[in-house]
Structure 1
């Protein structure tokens, strides 16, 4: 073989390897679950520039079940069961209520809580951790910044909903940066800090649907994301703006379906439960 032919063969091998790396595996199914509603009676709580005077809005609390082979993973765990059937209280800035538990919805599709062996949490706020303890045997994945804040008891960081992992001995991993959860590119936690120190989104690759990019709380509704609106309770304004920029650009470059988890307009992009995206 001539030197030139050898170079061609090496280049072809590199191209083949690159193509293999660039083609991630896919998860089997993605279900969206109803994990409550938060009636926001003072929408300015979500704007440090007071952009929504006198406005109110319902924010969905959504969770997601992912099937990857024989493994079930839950992304976010919604409002606490104590809020089931809670009435709307217009005297409060925010009034959360829950209609169905996660375990009730899983029973509809024949999945038992103990079959869920992985739980990913976008961040430590109560509307994303509320029912985590129902899956106490699962391994918990949470951003390292949030893990540290929960260990230290920082302002707004309440570890009690995650007690099985914080003191209870259940397996937990703090995630720094992006994390390929199955090692095959099918499901990746995406580093999007700012709302909380270790806030993450989730990228799921599906065979038919294509990539789906779940926001966590990088933004709470379209108007926030479109205007770079930052809630006053975010832990870093600069990181929030950078993460919104990354979320938008990542969705565009991957041609992913972006889903703002609190915006019902985006949640409706996925099939209504019990149907699943595949």
Structure 2
């Protein structure tokens, strides 16, 4: 399954589509961390995870068509200069491997839904890693939202040390709009409570999630790389990538959200069950 759609009978949110924009395999510690330093497991790992999806989500709202994350660029497989050179480039290749079949390009997946990139009116990025912000070039004419803390990585001397390919993100002509959260740690895109960005740091300093609240179904929480499997969050298991203390704090925040919204559906970018979970979403 490379895509799944859920439609709603009432309210501003009309449909949510999960799409697959490539595949990735990573080291096991990238999924189920134990606090092992990232450099150590990068150097010593000998096994890979199964191939996992790179999911993004298209949300039909009465005020526009929103894309949450943009997936892995096919250029990463053909351009010899896509990644940094030297030791840093070696680290990139040690940590993750990608493939993007022709049917999983952004244009192909949007076309299967009856859309084109030009139909997108808003883009929200969970974070700036290549498999989430890899296909930004078509979006020069629309707002592309990322948290202010995440955009601060681009001001670092070497963003690539944080997993951000600054020579490619953002591409020429694309402006990134910083998200500044309010006193309640929220950014309500349309001021109607249906699409609300939330800070969920840890994987990167500025990682954020998107709460989608349809009128006639339980809310969805799109979490990017907060976890590879939402079932692990309840066990306090987070990836060994990023700030572990911040990741565990974010896991607790999500647990609190699940108490407030018992039917909350959490959808992670690399969860092989995410699209089936979307199809099985609980009605209100």
User: Partner of 1:219: helix, strand, or coil?
Assistant: coil
Give the TM-score, by structure 1 length: 0.76
Pick one of 148, 158, 177 that aligns with 1:172.
177
The equivalent of 1:32 in structure 2 is: 18
- The runs of at least 4 aligned residues of structure 1 exceeding 4 Å deviation read 50-55
Q: Which has the larger radius of gyration?
A: 1
Instruction: Give the TM-score normalised by the residue count of structure 2.
Output: 0.75
Q: Distance in 2 between matches of 1:145 and 1:184?
A: 25
Q: Which residue is equivalent to 1:14? A: none
Equivalent of 2:215, from 207, 213, 217? 207
- The separation in 1 between residues aligned to 2:61 and 2:115, in whole angstroms, is 14
Query: Of residues 126, 131, 135 in structure 2, which corresponds to 1:131?
Result: 135
Query: Are the counterparts in 1 of residues 123 and 145 from structure 2 also a CA contact under 8 Å?
Result: yes
- 1:269 match: secondary structure: helix
Match 2:100 to one of 86, 98, 101: 98
Contact 1:72 1:116 in 2 (8 A): yes
Residues 167-191 of structure 1: CA deviation (Å, up to 9, x unaligned): 6363623333421011110101111
Give the distance between the partners of 2:229 and 2:208, measured in 1 at CA.
Answer: 17
Q: Structure 2 CA distance, aligned partners of 1:158 and 1:93?
A: 15
Confirm or deny that 1:44 pairs with 2:29. yes
Q: Could you tell me how far 1:139 is from its partner in structure 2?
A: 0.3
Partner Cα distance (1:269, 1:169) in 2: 33
Residues 115-172 of structure 1, C-alpha deviations (whole Å, 9 max, x = no match): 21210000111110111212222101101111111233432232333324xx636362
Q: Tell me, in whole angstroms, the C-alpha distance in 2 between the residues paired with 1:60 and 1:145.
A: 26
Q: Would you say 1:217 and 2:225 are equivalent positions?
A: yes
Residue 128 of structure 2 aligns to a residue whose secondary structure is: coil
- Who is 2:90 aligned against? none
**Superposition deviation, residue 67 in structure 1:** 1.1
> Could you say what secondary structure the match of 1:159 adopts?
coil
